[in-house]
Structure 1
Amino acid sequence: MATVIFCPITFNLAEVTRMIEVARALDPRHTPVFMGYETDFADLITDAGFDYRASEPAFTRAERDQALRFDQGRTLRSPFSYGLVSERVRAERELIRATGAAAVVIGTNPTSMISARAERVPLLYPVPFALTRPQVEQTRRLGLVRGTGRSARARDAVASTLLRWAYNHAPLAPRAFTRVARENGVAPLRNVVSLIEADLNLLTVMPAELDGYTLPPGYERVGPIFARLDTPLPDVVERLAAAAEPLVYLGLGSSANRELALAAARRLGSLPVNVIAPIKHYVADGDRLPANVHVTGLIPAHRLGGLVDAAVLHGGQGTVQTACSAGIPFVGMGLQPEQVWNVDVCVRQGNALSLAPKQADTAELARAVTRLLEEPAFREAAERVRLAFADEDGARACARVIDRTVGVS
């Protein structure tokens, strides 16, 4: 009935898998078409049976790392040159016209803010609540300065006020976006909000996360969306789950780093547990890890419920929601404010503990995991959360919004 273009950042695992879940939930009368620039997780799209259009220009490795730091607010330097932005907008507009697309669904792909609007096609963005416009505007303390003391709270309030101003008013968008937008007949993109706010922003969160907030027009909750990889669990998982020792899952997604992965794996390896660690993409030949740490590639983590006793996660929404839906208590080590928010939501629910990434190489991580394994309250809270997640289907809710947007009842 309608062609829907999906444009995730294809070196971001969570975005790719989120888009796949939404595409799977579409009415079969629709035709999903994926496009992307990098190759890291593009095979997951084709393996799922979807039409994938590899596009150019792709980021170099250095540009990709810079883009990740820019997205996480860790630098004001951007890899989005005029040439790259203009060429990506051209490629995206051409695909929209060639397919006759009726809607574009994105991850954090800022050039779509220009291309979709230039083609007058509705732009939809399934996105975590943290660091969206309503969350930034309505949250007094955003967790930019960690700590529970009076001084830390005061400094966080000041930092949050400064971020709110910069977010909405400071001309922080790379100049290339302003220039290319004008060349394509679109309102200039000048501030941070203009780079990350679509026509419809579909919040991939549980209801309680929005308590006390008022959503402006263009925002609505759809519910959790996370990866359900269509692959079997490695045999080692079943074998370790049957062993006498507890089994701990180490999940760090694609936005962590090698240092964190190795530090956490080695610290967990000092405990009387077994560890299943899908961190192969962070481990180099010659790295030595404890014998009880079993490194794998990506695994279908949504199938770990009842097999894994605790988890250690980086705080990305996909990994956090997967643990929640599987009833697994976890330690979260948020690497940036959005991930810290995801972890803190679960800390308040009682199914998680929060540590700073720098504590991955300390006894604090071992103590936190031991608490999860020995204190029943964490498992009880994780079970309550699991039951709540069982009633949610964010991908299906997204599909209904797409139907409404393209005029299908």
Structure 2
Amino acid sequence: MAYLARHGDYLRGIFEISPGLALGPPARLFLGSLKSMRSTPLKVVCYVPTFNAGDTTRGIEVTRALEARAEEAGRELDILFVCPPIKVAHFEALILKAGYRIAHTAVPLSQADIDNFMNADRTGEEFIPEYDRAKLYIEKYMENLKEHKPDLLINGCIPPAGVAARILGIPTVTYFPFPADKTWVERYFLKDIPDQLENALTLKLPIFLRAKLTRLLSKLATKQRFFSQPTLARAGRELGWNEPMPGIFTMLKADVELVTDLAIFYEGQELGARTRITGPLFSKGADAVIDPKILEMFHAKNANKVLVTMGSSGEKKHLLEAIAAVSQAGYHAVVVVQPTICSIAEVRARLQIPPHVYLTDAFIPAHLVNPLADAVIIHGGQGTVQNAMYSGTPFVGVGMQAEQQTNLDNFSLQGAGIRIARKFWRRDAIAKALTRVLAEPSFKSNAARMAQSFAGIDGYKEAGNAIWELVEARNL
């Protein structure tokens, strides 16, 4: 069957270009089987956490990359996105707009569940601390996979789904902002001291001592419950997950592990054997439309223009401080108020919003809006940072957790922006940093230089090829 899967087109051609060839019943049956093999779609299930904008949009773009590669190969795809049923505002609309079908898992998420998932990497705690619920999650993902019977699973950062796929032996592709490899994390993950450990003493350390301390902390980070996930690991073992070194790295272990980042940040580093650095994947749809009010705000003459966007993983207090900073400074600002963080009504109730600040809770085409701004105020989500740098727009940023801090540090260390530690993220500090970024030409020139890092990189092609190598190797 493996030979037929690889050479079906060639064998069909022999029969189809020989019209005079008399075919007996066995040959006709054989030819019919070849035709059915050619027309069988590749069944793909995509698990995405639709309470997280970054993971949802990356999942969509990875799937688009697979679609483009499948089209080249002449293979039809049967794609289904599977999402948790949640009652709060989320990002399913983006999946539907992209033209994909959606189904739901059988375990609804409460706001407390979502908070655990979104905050675990910052607090160092587990995704699911209750054993019965952890076991239920894995069981329901196993039931879902048995129901849909995918040939291939694309999994965002959903550890219970990863465990279920490993138990059932389903070929899996994952996508991350950094390599999900323990050795890599221990050696290279952190670029600077984590914000939560920053204090008056560490701020005075010379650069070489900060670097040594950062390397030590990077190694110690993997000892946290966030990385060991003991409750989920115990539940997985109970259900048949035979993993000698259970933890988040093995929960998310896949046949292909895509890293949607620039390769320049990983030169000379040892990566996991299954890791593929694809380059950025973020939507740059030609049909995207900019809100006319944004255009109006950013077409103002003789005024600095600032975009404020904190993604879905930002926090209310950090967003409000950023809005207060641009309001007081008099900049023409567009602020994306993500409903999962805060409502526009609450912003207006807590702050005096001047006419030169426009609030929107709509999903904006960041690749088109960023170039209109002179600077951006951002959190450290990978897609948000990449959109700013792709546009050559300098930033003032804050990381919600260590990964986001590293995303910002990759570019701030190149002089393309300023990262402010979480505990120092206050309106006066933001305004001061923003004044520097806007006044000193080096920030703009360095951001423009970093924008050149994206030139010639086709993340879609790299991701599509990596996945298709798996499809061919496993005869899917």
Q: Which moved more, 1:121-130 or 1:341-350?
A: 121-130
The answer as to whether partners of 2:337 and 2:360 remain within 8 angstroms in 1 is yes
User: CA offset at residue 157 of structure 1?
Assistant: 4.3
The answer as to whether partners of 1:129 and 1:135 remain within 8 angstroms in 2 is no
Partner of 1:111: 160
2:96 aligned with 1:46: yes
1:114 alignment partner, SS class: helix
Residue from 98, 102, 123 that aligns with 2:151: 102
Q: Which moved more, 1:77-86 or 1:294-303?
A: 77-86
2:56 aligned with 1:16: yes
State the number of aligned residues.
Answer: 406
Q: How does 1:7-406 map to 2 (within 5 A)?
A: 7-25=47-65, 26=67, 27-28=70-71, 29-39=76-86, 40-70=90-120, 72-129=121-178, 132-139=181-188, 143=192, 144=194, 145-146=197-198, 147=203, 149-150=205-206, 152-153=210-211, 155-164=213-222, 166=223, 172-187=228-243, 190-228=246-284, 231-244=288-301, 245-281=303-339, 282-283=342-343, 284-285=345-346, 286-291=349-354, 292-297=356-361, 298-406=363-471
User: Mind listing any 5+ residue stretches in structure 2 that lack a counterpart?
Assistant: 1-40
How many Å separate the matches in 2 of 1:256 and 1:170? 19
How many Å separate the matches in 2 of 1:140 and 1:231? 35
User: CA offset at residue 38 of structure 1?
Assistant: 4.1
How many Å separate the matches in 2 of 1:175 and 1:148? 39
Q: Which moved more, 1:248-257 or 1:135-144?
A: 135-144
Q: Which moved more, 1:381-390 or 1:28-37?
A: 381-390
How many Å separate the matches in 1 of 2:304 and 2:111? 38
How many Å separate the matches in 2 of 1:141 and 1:317? 15
2:320 alignment partner, SS class: helix
Aligned partner of 1:288: which letter? L
2:329 alignment partner, SS class: coil
Tell me which protein shows more helix as a share of its residues. 2
How many Å separate the matches in 1 of 2:171 and 2:370? 38
User: CA offset at residue 78 of structure 1?
Assistant: 4.2
User: CA offset at residue 15 of structure 1?
Assistant: 0.4
Closer, same or farther: CA 288–154 of 1 in aligned 2, 3 Å: same
User: Which of the pair has more CA radius of gyration?
Assistant: 2
Closer, same or farther: CA 370–248 of 1 in aligned 2, 3 Å: same
How many Å separate the matches in 2 of 1:346 and 1:11? 27
- Return the TM-score normalized by structure 1: 0.90
How many Å separate the matches in 1 of 2:45 and 2:274? 20
RMSD: 2.6
Closer, same or farther: CA 73–356 of 1 in aligned 2, 3 Å: closer
How many Å separate the matches in 1 of 2:422 and 2:272? 34
1:276 alignment partner, SS class: strand
Q: Which runs of 4+ in 1 moved over 6 A?
A: none
2:437 alignment partner, SS class: helix
Percent identical pairs in the alignment equals 25
The answer as to whether partners of 2:176 and 2:260 remain within 8 angstroms in 1 is yes
User: CA offset at residue 310 of structure 1?
Assistant: 0.6
- Return the TM-score normalized by structure 2: 0.78
Closer, same or farther: CA 95–314 of 1 in aligned 2, 3 Å: same
User: CA offset at residue 301 of structure 1?
Assistant: 0.7
How many Å separate the matches in 1 of 2:226 and 2:406? 24
Aligned partner of 1:180: which letter? G
User: CA offset at residue 400 of structure 1?
Assistant: 1.6
User: CA offset at residue 30 of structure 1?
Assistant: 1.9
Aligned partner of 1:290: which letter? I
Partner of 2:19: none
